[in-house]
Amino acid sequence: MAGMSNAARQQGVVILGSTGSVGGSALDVVAALPDRFRLVGLAAATNQRLLQQQIDTFQPSYAHLATGGTRLTGVEQIDNPEALTHLATLDDADIIVVATTGHTAIEPTIQALRAGKIVALANKETIVAAGEIVMREARTSTGILRTVDSEHSALWQCLGSDRFDPERVRRLIITASGGPFRGWTSEQLSTVRPADALKHPNWNMGDKITIDSATLMNKGLEIIEARWLFDCPLDAISVVVHPQSIVHSMVELHDGSLIAQIASHDMRVPIQYALTFPDRVLGPGKPINLVTIGELTFEEPNLEAFPLLTIARDAAAQGSTYPTVLSAADSVAVEAFLAGRLSFLGISRLVQESLDAHTPSSGPLTLAAVREADTWAEQYARQLVEERSSQWK
Ligand SMILES: NC(=O)c1ccc[n+]([C@@H]2O[C@H](COP(=O)([O-])OP(=O)(O)OC[C@H]3O[C@@H](n4cnc5c(N)ncnc54)[C@H](OP(=O)(O)O)[C@@H]3O)[C@@H](O)[C@H]2O)c1
C-alpha cells in the first residue's frame, strides 16, 4: 500500500460499483478534487437510471451495466463478460476503485494490479476469498493496493506501513460498532426482522454489509482482511466493540502505547486517503469535535450471541478455500434473510453447515480453486435454504 505524491497531474479514476454506497462516496471525492482526478469509467449492475445520471454529470469515457440490455447514452458502453477487467485495465485509468459486492471483482483486481494500477479496494470479499493470491500479486507486481475499508485504512495509518512488524507491534485492534443489536441475547435475536437489521446506528451502507454488521460477520471478514493486508498472524488481531464508531481501529505497540485513528463515520475520509495518499488535502470529509461527542466507550463483543465472529476466525485459521466458502455462504444467507426466507439466527447456522460440509482444495491456493469453492458454496447454501430454513427459527 505504498505510493508517491499524486499532486503532479490529474489521475484517471475508474469506479466499479459506482451506484452503490461506497461508489457514491468515491464520486463525491472525485467531484471535490477536480484538479487531481478525472473520471474515466463507471460500472454498475442494475441501477441504470442512477448510472445514466452519473454519466451525464461526470462524462466518463466508458461505462458498463452488468444486467446489459439497455443502451446508455453519451458514453462508450462496455458490454462483454470481461467488462470489469476491461475497465480496470484501461490505459487512461490510474486508480481503480473496487466497490462492487461479492466475488465479481477478484479477477479485475488482480488484472488491475498486474497492469500497474493503483487499486483502492473497498470490496472486502475479494481479500477474504482470495487474499493469498491478491496480496502475492500486490507485492510482486507494479500495481499498488490501498485499502478503503475504514478499519483497515485506520490500521494502515496507525502502522505507518502496510506490514505488521512483530518487533514493534503487539496487536491490531479492529473496532466494531456492535450494530443495531448490541447487548441483545440470542433469544431476543430470534425475533429480528430484515427492517430492524437494516437500521445501522452509525453508518449508511449497502444492504449486504449492513446485515453483516448486525450479525458481526462484518468483523469476521475484517479479521481475515487484516490478516492478508498486513501479513499479520490471526492471533494478533482482536476486535473491540466501540458503539460511537469514531475510533476506526488501533495498533498496540510493545512499549504499551496504543495508536488510534479517529475520524467521523464518513466513508469519504478513507476513500480520499486511498486516492490522495500520501497527501492530506481538504476534501468532502468534515472534522469532528470530540467535545461534542463527549464519550468514547469500548467493550468486549458477545461471542455467544454473535457466533459468526468465531466462525469466521476459525475459517481463516483453516485457510485454503474455507474463507471463500464462509463469504459465499454468508452472501446466500443474507440474501435469504432479506427475502424473508431465513431467520436472523439461521444466517450463522447456514454458514457453519456450509463450512462443515466443505472439502477444501489441496495444495497452494489457486484462482481456479477459489472459483470452484465459490460455486460449490453458493449451490450448497441455496440448497440448505430450500431444505432447512424452516427449522432454523
Ligand atoms: N458501504 C460501506 O460503507 C462499506 C465500507 C467498507 C467496505 N465496504 C465494502 O464495499 C463493497 C461495496 O459495498 P456497498 O455498501 O457500497 O454496496 P452496495 O451499496 O450494495 O453497492 C454495490 C455496488 O456494486 C454494483 N455491482 C454489484 N455487482 C456488480 C457487477 N457484477 N458488475 C458491476 N457492478 C456491480 C452495484 O450496482 P447496482 O447498484 O447498479 O446494482 C452497486 O453499484 C462491499 O464489498 C462492502 O463490504 C462497504
pLDDT at 259 over 70: yes
Ligand 1 cavity residues, CB under 6 Å? 17-23, 43-47, 66, 84, 99-101, 104, 122-125, 149, 203, 205-206, 208-209, 267
Same domain membership, residue 162 and residue 296 = yes
Instruction: Tell whether 6 is covered by a domain.
Output: no
Instruction: Tell whether 3 is covered by a domain.
Output: no
CA of 205 to the centre of ligand 1 (A): 9
Same domain membership, residue 209 and residue 107 = no
Could you tell me what percent of the chain has a pLDDT over 90?
92
Calculate Rg over the CA atoms of the chain. 20
Q: The domain containing residue 212 runs over which residues?
A: 155-265+288-301
Same domain membership, residue 136 and residue 37 = yes
- Average pLDDT over the chain reads 95
Same domain membership, residue 226 and residue 362 = no
Same domain membership, residue 118 and residue 229 = no
Same domain membership, residue 294 and residue 203 = yes
Residue 393 pLDDT level (bands cut at 50, 70, 90): low
Residue 7 pLDDT level (bands cut at 50, 70, 90): very low
Please state the rounded mean pLDDT for residues 193-203. Answer: 91
- Please write the tens of the pLDDT for every residue from 296-347: 999 999 999 999 999 999 999 999 999 999 999 999 999 999 999 999 999 9
- Please write the tens of the pLDDT for every residue from 133-183: 999 999 999 999 999 999 999 999 999 999 999 999 999 999 999 999 999
Instruction: Tell whether 61 is covered by a domain.
Output: yes
Instruction: Tell whether 275 is covered by a domain.
Output: no
Per-residue confidence (pLDDT) for residue 1, from 0 to 100? 56
Per-residue confidence (pLDDT) for residue 386, from 0 to 100? 93
Q: Is the dihedral of CA 292, 294, 300, 306 positive or negative?
A: negative
Per-residue confidence (pLDDT) for residue 82, from 0 to 100? 96
What CATH code is carried by the domain that includes residue 59? 3.40.50.720
Residue 2 pLDDT level (bands cut at 50, 70, 90): very low
pLDDT at 38 over 90: yes
Among 129, 148, 167, identify where a domain stops. Answer: 148
Residue 4 pLDDT level (bands cut at 50, 70, 90): very low
Same domain membership, residue 133 and residue 20 = yes
Please state the rounded mean pLDDT for residues 104-119. Answer: 98
Same domain membership, residue 185 and residue 59 = no
Same domain membership, residue 187 and residue 60 = no
Among 148, 168, 201, identify where a domain stops. Answer: 148
Per-residue confidence (pLDDT) for residue 363, from 0 to 100? 85
What CATH code is carried by the domain that includes residue 333? 1.10.1740.10
Instruction: Tell whether 182 is covered by a domain.
Output: yes
Same domain membership, residue 161 and residue 143 = no
pLDDT at 36 over 60: yes
Index of the ligand 1 atom closest to the CA of residue 208: 20
For a mutational test of ligand 1's pocket, the pick from 15, 16, 21, i.e. the residue with the most ligand atoms closer than 8 A to its C-beta, is 21
Instruction: Tell whether 278 is covered by a domain.
Output: no
Same domain membership, residue 297 and residue 162 = yes
Index of the ligand 1 atom closest to the CA of residue 218: 47
- Please write the tens of the pLDDT for every residue from 48-83: 999 999 999 999 999 999 997 789 999 999 999 999
What is the tally of structural domains in the chain? 3
For a mutational test of ligand 1's pocket, the pick from 107, 202, 209, 338, i.e. the residue with the most ligand atoms closer than 8 A to its C-beta, is 209
Instruction: Tell whether 28 is covered by a domain.
Output: yes
Per-residue confidence (pLDDT) for residue 390, from 0 to 100? 76
Same domain membership, residue 363 and residue 324 = yes
Instruction: Tell whether 309 is covered by a domain.
Output: no
Per-residue confidence (pLDDT) for residue 362, from 0 to 100? 87
